[in-house]
Structure formats: C-alpha cells, structure tokens
C-alpha cells in the first residue's frame, strides 16, 4: 500500500533524488537538463539588504525570488541584482530569463528591467492577485 505524507522541508537526500530523476528523464528524452540553483546576495557594509534566487535549467534561467529589505527599497538594489543575473548568464548558451509576479508585487518593475509580459492569469476576486508571466530574451535569441 502506498502512503503519502506532507513534508514542508525536504532533506538533502530527497533533493538529490529529485535532481537525479529530472536528469535521467531529460537524458531519456535527449534533452540536457543541467539544473543549477543560484543566488546573489546584496549587502551594505556586511549587512544583508537583498537577495535574488532561482535556477537555470534546459535553455532558460528562472527567477524564483527577489527580496529587498523594506528600508533599502527604491535604491536600485533590485535592478542591480537583476542586472547581475543577466550578466552572469548571458553568454552561457541560455535563451531567456523568466519569472512570475503578482499584480501587487512588481510587474512594472520587471517591465522597466526589459521584461515582456507573456501572459496574465486573472484572479476572479482580487486583481492584486493577477499572476504575471514575464520573459526577457538574451540578445541574439
């Protein structure tokens, strides 16, 4: 009998199994997965002020989180973190950077960073929860 349990945080062992299975399935389908997590941390005088995290895989970069500490917002730290990701990945054979954000978060910020809206999933009850799917292609793609 199969038992299913809820797990909030995965152990490293499970993460390795997930990575291994993703890669095996990709190879089976003649695709290179190359799943690689990344994070860039912004500090001012050794004080944490922001972070951007994500993963690169297949032919794309996916931004998972961009967080700037409240008192450091509107100081171009988010823009610098976004540019750092773009500079880091631009000549590594990847096609695009993509991400999702909600209406109350930062769709206009990402547009200013050169991202295009691919799709908006509307929330029927609250437009602040409209989900924006954005992409920015690397030059030459």
- CATH code for position 51: 3.40.630.30
Q: Measured between alpha carbons, how far is 132 from 122 in angstroms, rounded to an integer? A: 9
**Assigned domain for 35 exists:** yes
**Assigned domain for 21 exists:** no
Please check whether residue 82 is in contact with residue 40, taking contact to mean a CB–CB distance below 8 angstroms. no
Give CA separation, 17 vs 4, 11, 12, 13, 55, in Å.
Answer: 17, 10, 9, 6, 17
What does the pLDDT look like over 6-20, one tens digit per residue? 989 889 999 889 888
Which phi-psi region, left, alpha or beta, contains residue 114 (left: φ > 0; alpha: ψ -120 to 50)? Answer: left
Please check whether residue 53 is in contact with residue 38, taking contact to mean a CB–CB distance below 8 angstroms. yes
**Assigned domain for 48 exists:** yes
Q: What is the pLDDT of residue 35?
A: 86
Q: What is the pLDDT of residue 93?
A: 92
What does the pLDDT look like over 51-102, one tens digit per residue? 999 999 999 999 999 999 999 999 999 999 999 999 999 999 999 999 999 9
Burial of residue 81 (number of CB atoms within 10 Å: 0-12, 13-18, 19+): buried
Report which of 106, 97, 99 is spatially closest to residue 141, judged by C-alpha positions: 97
Report which of 123, 70, 122, 133 is spatially closest to residue 100, judged by C-alpha positions: 133
**Assigned domain for 56 exists:** yes
Q: Measured between alpha carbons, how far is 5 from 97 in angstroms, rounded to an integer? A: 34
**Assigned domain for 1 exists:** no
- Where residue 128 falls among pLDDT bands split at 50, 70, 90? very high
- Percentage with pLDDT > 90 across the chain: 84
Q: What is the pLDDT of residue 141?
A: 62
Report which of 92, 87, 94 is spatially closest to residue 114, judged by C-alpha positions: 87
Please state the domain count of the chain.
1
**Assigned domain for 61 exists:** yes
**Assigned domain for 39 exists:** yes
Identify the domain containing residue 99 by its residue range. Answer: 31-137
- Percentage with pLDDT > 70 across the chain: 99
**Assigned domain for 133 exists:** yes
Mean pLDDT of the chain: 94
Give backbone dihedrals phi and psi of 22, rounded to 5 degrees, phi first: -60, -45
Q: Which of 12-21, 65-74, 109-118, 119-128 has the lowest mean pLDDT?
A: 12-21
Determine if the pTM surpasses 0.85.
yes
């Amino acid at each position: 009998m199969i038992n299913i349990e809820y797990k909030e945080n995965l152990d490293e062992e499970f993460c390795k199994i997930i990575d291994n299975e993703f890669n095996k399935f990709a190879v089976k389908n003649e695709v290179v997965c190359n799943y690689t997590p990344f994070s860039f941390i912004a500090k001012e005088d050794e004080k944490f002020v922001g972070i951007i995290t994500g993963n690169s895989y297949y032919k794309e970069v996916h931004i998972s989180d961009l967080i700037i500490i409240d008192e450091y917002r509107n100081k171009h730290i988010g823009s610098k973190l976004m540019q750092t990701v773009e500079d880091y990945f631009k000549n590594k054979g990847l096609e695009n950077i993509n991400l999702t954000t909600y209406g109350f978060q930062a769709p206009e910020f990402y547009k200013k960073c050169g991202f295009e809206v691919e799709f908006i999933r509307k929330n029927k009850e609250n437009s602040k929860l409209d989900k924006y799917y954005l992409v920015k292609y690397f030059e030459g793609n």
